[in-house]
Amino acid sequence: MKIFLDTAEVADIRKYAAWGVIDGVTTNPSLIAKSGRVFEEVIEEICSIVDGPISAEVTSVETEGMVEEGTRLAGIHENVVIKVPLIPTGLAATKALAAKGIKTNVTLCFSATQALLAAKAGATMVSPFIGRLDDLGERGMALIEDIVRTFRNYPTLKTEVLVASIRNTDHVRQAALLGADISTIPPKIMDKMVGHHMTDKGLAAFLADWETRATGAPTS
């Protein structure tokens, strides 16, 4: 499973990119606003840090505006993927952007039938938001299961399943077990994924034992 970072904070992106495990980055208008920086500048900087798909979201809700915005954003860097909302005009924009050879990430997906439409429109990726479904008392991971199974039934559909709105490490574990193509993970969940108290305890014991080793006589 590919791991994307779900953030527009370049300091975080540098930190986790240094681990050597980041395949891409997703942003959205809320994350860009939170960064306090100019949209295009952030996207350009992220592209200079991570060599993989970098999602930049359009804010127009009309097909023509989305295509225009998407075409402009795609010009920032060859790795930019245009994030388009899963609404009727977004499907038409996805089709038009695909015809221009521009990759898309169709976002705000909350049902398997929406995902099917995104795939039919030629989306490169579709982003089901599992945490927001969990917040409603539904089981977000059931949606991932449905979409993965649906796409497997039709091998001509090439759209990748990008698990979004991840809230905990178990979401990542389950997404991987289900065979989702990508999980986009917030920085704080990355820390939780790598940390384990037994790793820390074991390392401390190894280092303490190392200090008690025999060193032998110095050779001349």
Exactly one of 83, 95, 158, 201 is catalytic; name it.
83
**Minimum distance from CB of 21 to ligand E4P (Å)?**
18
- Angle at the Cα of 87 (from 59 to 144), degrees rounded to 5? 105
Q: Does 164 bind ligand E4P (CB under 6 A)?
A: yes
Q: Which is nearer to ligand E4P, 26 or 159 (CB)?
A: 26
Interacting residue with ligand E4P among 63, 79, 124, 165 (CB under 6 A): 165
Interface with ligand E4P in residues 91-130 (CB under 6 A) = 107, 127, 129
Q: Measured between alpha carbons, how far is 27 from 126 in angstroms, rounded to an integer? A: 14
Report residue 171 as tokens: 């979401």
Interface with ligand E4P in residues 8-27 (CB under 6 A) = 26
**Minimum distance from CB of 135 to ligand E4P (Å)?**
8
Q: Which is nearer to ligand E4P, 26 or 63 (CB)?
A: 26
Q: Does 7 bind ligand E4P (CB under 6 A)?
A: no
Contact 130, 165 (CB under 8 A): yes
Contact 60, 66 (CB under 8 A): yes
Interacting residue with ligand E4P among 37, 72, 132, 192 (CB under 6 A): 132
Among candidate residues 22, 88, 79, 214, the one with its CA nearest the CA of residue 12: 22
Q: Measured between alpha carbons, how far is 87 from 73 in angstroms, rounded to an integer? A: 20
3-class DSSP assignment, residue 131: helix
Among candidate residues 11, 13, 29, the one with its CA nearest the CA of residue 21: 13
Q: Is 103 a catalytic residue?
A: no
Q: Which residues bind ligand E4P (CB under 6 A)?
A: 6, 26, 28, 107, 127, 129, 131-132, 164-165, 184
**Residues designated as active site:** 83
